[in-house]
């Protein structure tokens, strides 16, 4: 299956279980991989035969910046479900949500969740 990648999209949202996360917000990074057949797009060189990356970016931005969730698992789930609902040619959506600076005492790069949702699962 062919794949379309949107890597390291940065957004600012108010997700988290602690009151300060909801009030102050923080940065989130999102990676999306969509499994789809790109043959028609490759042969025709026609945007109508593929998935418009700008539309996927906007969908992710609206969810991360426009809604509020306690868990990044819920952020990822909402993005995956919306991609499958909006883009009929996507067979599977891989969504990774990265929280670079969660309120955890310690030294680490980030925390993240990754989910895979399919149309026929």
Q: Domains (ranges, CATH) in the chain?
A: 2-118 (3.30.1130.10)
Q: Which helix (H) or strand (E) holds 58?
A: helix 53-66
Q: Which pLDDT band, with edges at 50, 70 and 90, does 121 fall under?
A: low
pTM beyond 0.85, yes or no:
yes
pLDDT per position as a tens digit, 55-103 = 999 999 999 999 999 999 999 999 999 999 999 999 999 999 999 988 8
> Per-residue b/e over 64-81, b at no fewer than 16 CB within 10 Å?
beeeebeebebbbbbbbe
Active site residues: 99
pLDDT per position as a tens digit, 16-61 = 998 998 899 999 999 999 999 999 999 999 999 999 999 999 999 9
pLDDT the model gives residue 103: 85
> Per-residue b/e over 15-36, b at no fewer than 16 CB within 10 Å?
bbeeeebeeebbebbbbbbbbb
């Amino acid at each position: 299956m062919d794949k379309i990648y949107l890597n390291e999209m940065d957004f600012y949202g108010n997700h988290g279980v602690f009151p300060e996360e909801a009030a102050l917000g923080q940065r989130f990074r999102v990676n999306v991989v969509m499994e789809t057949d790109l043959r028609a797009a490759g042969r025709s060189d026609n945007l109508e035969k593929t998935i418009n990356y700008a539309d996927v970016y906007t969908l992710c931005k609206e969810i991360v910046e426009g809604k509020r969730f306690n868990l990044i698992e819920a952020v990822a789930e909402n993005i995956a479900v919306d991609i499958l609902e909006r883009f009929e040619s996507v067979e599977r959506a891989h969504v990774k949500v990265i929280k670079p600076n969660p309120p955890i005492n310690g030294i680490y790069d980030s925390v993240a969740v990754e989910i895979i949702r399919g149309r026929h699962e």
